[in-house]
A and B are shown apart, each in its own frame.
Chain A
Amino acid sequence: MFQKIIEKINLKYPIDVVSKKSDKLMFLTVHKNTAVNTVQYLKDDLGFKHLVLLTAVDFLEQGKFQLTYLLNNPDIKIDIGVRVLIERESATMESAHSLWPTIATYQRELREMFGIDFPDSPGVNDEFILEGWNNTPPYRRDFDTKAFAANFYHQRNSRENNDPSAHMKKNLYPNE
Chain B
Amino acid sequence: MNKFEKFSFDGDRTAYPNKKADGSLDIDLSSHKYIKVWQGPNHPGITGNMAVELTVCGDEVVEAKTHVGYLHRGFEKLMERRRYIQNCPLVCRVSVPEPDYNEFNYSTCVENLAGISVPDKALWLRTLALEMARLQGYLMWIGGAAGTLGFGTVGQWSNYLRDLVLDRFEELTGGRIYHIYILIGGVRNDIPVGFKQRMLDNLREIEGFMKDIRKVLFDNYVFKKRTIGLGIIEPEWIYPYGIVGPNARAAGSLNDVRKDYPYGKYSELDFEVKTSKQSDIYARAYLRYEELLTDIDLIKQILDKMPDGGEFMANIPNVFNLEIPAGETYVRSECTRGEYGYYMVSDGSGFPRRVNVRGPSYTHAVALLERMLINANIADVAQIMVSLHTYPPEIER
Binding site for B on A (CB under 8 A): 19, 21, 24-25, 27, 49-53, 55-59, 66, 68, 70, 74, 77, 79, 81, 100-102, 104-105, 127-131, 138-139, 141, 145
Those of B140-172 within 8 Å (CB) of chain A: none
Separation in Å of the A127 CB from the closest CB of chain B?
Answer: 8
Knowing A50-B239, A105-B366 are in contact, say whether A57-B330 is a contact too (CB < 8 A): no
Is the pair A21, B69 in contact by a Cβ cutoff of 8 Å?
Answer: no
| A–B Cβ pairs within 8 angstroms, 9 of them | A21-B328, A50-B239, A51-B239, A57-B354, A59-B353, A68-B343, A101-B241, A105-B366, A138-B74
CB of B196 closer than 8 Å to a CB of A: no
User: Closest 5 interchain pairs by CB?
Assistant: A129-B69, A55-B356, A102-B367, A57-B354, A53-B358
Separation in Å of the A168 CB from the closest CB of chain B?
Answer: 33
Majority secondary structure of chain B interface residues (helix, strand, loop or mixed) = mixed
A-side contacts of B189, CB under 8 Å = none
- Name the one of A68, A74, A81, A129 contacting B396, with C-beta atoms under 8 angstroms: A129
B-side contacts of A141, CB under 8 Å = 80
Separation in Å of the A100 CB from the closest CB of chain B?
Answer: 5
- Name the one of B77, B356, B368 contacting A102, with C-beta atoms under 8 angstroms: B368
A-side contacts of B68, CB under 8 Å = 128-129
Is the pair B330, A100 in contact by a Cβ cutoff of 8 Å?
Answer: no
**How far apart sit A92 and B244, CA to CA, in the bound complex (Å)?**
30
Those of B335-385 within 8 Å (CB) of chain A: 339, 341, 343, 345, 353-354, 356, 358, 362-363, 366-368, 371
Q: Which residue of A lies closest to B371 (CB)?
A: A101
Is the pair B72, A129 in contact by a Cβ cutoff of 8 Å?
Answer: yes
Separation in Å of the A24 CB from the closest CB of chain B?
Answer: 7
CB of B240 closer than 8 Å to a CB of A: yes
A-side contacts of B76, CB under 8 Å = 139
B-side contacts of A57, CB under 8 Å = 345, 353-354
Is the pair B367, A74 in contact by a Cβ cutoff of 8 Å?
Answer: no
Is the pair A53, B341 in contact by a Cβ cutoff of 8 Å?
Answer: yes
**How far apart sit A102 and B72, CA to CA, in the bound complex (Å)?**
21
Is the pair A105, B330 in contact by a Cβ cutoff of 8 Å?
Answer: no
B-side contacts of A51, CB under 8 Å = 239, 242
- Name the one of A25, A56, A79, A100 contacting B239, with C-beta atoms under 8 angstroms: A100
**How far apart sit A52 and B359, CA to CA, in the bound complex (Å)?**
10
Interface residues on B, range: 35 or more
- Name the one of B77, B329, B362, B368 contacting A139, with C-beta atoms under 8 angstroms: B77
Is the pair B367, A53 in contact by a Cβ cutoff of 8 Å?
Answer: no
Binding site for A on B (CB under 8 A): 68-69, 72, 74, 76-78, 80-81, 112, 239-242, 255, 260-261, 327-330, 332, 339, 341, 343, 345, 353-354, 356, 358, 362-363, 366-368, 371, 396
**How far apart sit A15 and B228, CA to CA, in the bound complex (Å)?**
49
Separation in Å of the B244 CB from the closest CB of chain A?
Answer: 8
Is the pair A104, B367 in contact by a Cβ cutoff of 8 Å?
Answer: yes
B-side contacts of A130, CB under 8 Å = 69, 72
Knowing A100-B242, A102-B363 are in contact, say whether A53-B74 is a contact too (CB < 8 A): no
- Name the one of B72, B112, B343, B396 contacting A53, with C-beta atoms under 8 angstroms: B343
Which of A102, A105, A139 has the most B CB atoms < 10 Å from its CB? A102
Q: Which residue of A lies closest to B332 (CB)?
A: A52
A-side contacts of B354, CB under 8 Å = 55-58
Q: Which residue of A lies closest to B237 (CB)?
A: A101
Is the pair A102, B343 in contact by a Cβ cutoff of 8 Å?
Answer: no
Knowing A58-B354, A130-B69, A139-B76 are in contact, say whether A50-B330 is a contact too (CB < 8 A): no
Is the pair A21, B343 in contact by a Cβ cutoff of 8 Å?
Answer: no
**How far apart sit A105 and B368, CA to CA, in the bound complex (Å)?**
11
Separation in Å of the B73 CB from the closest CB of chain A?
Answer: 11
- Name the one of B81, B341, B345, B366 contacting A52, with C-beta atoms under 8 angstroms: B341
Separation in Å of the B87 CB from the closest CB of chain A?
Answer: 15
- Name the one of A21, A49, A74, A100 contacting B329, with C-beta atoms under 8 angstroms: A21
- Name the one of A25, A74, A101, A139 contacting B330, with C-beta atoms under 8 angstroms: A25
A-side contacts of B328, CB under 8 Å = 21, 27, 68, 81
Is the pair A145, B77 in contact by a Cβ cutoff of 8 Å?
Answer: yes
Separation in Å of the A10 CB from the closest CB of chain B?
Answer: 22
Is the pair A145, B330 in contact by a Cβ cutoff of 8 Å?
Answer: no
A-side contacts of B343, CB under 8 Å = 53, 55, 68, 70
Is the pair B330, A81 in contact by a Cβ cutoff of 8 Å?
Answer: yes
Is the pair A77, B69 in contact by a Cβ cutoff of 8 Å?
Answer: no
**How far apart sit A43 and B290, CA to CA, in the bound complex (Å)?**
33
Knowing A55-B354, A57-B354, A74-B255 are in contact, say whether A49-B77 is a contact too (CB < 8 A): no
**How far apart sit A21 and B331, CA to CA, in the bound complex (Å)?**
12
A-side contacts of B78, CB under 8 Å = 145
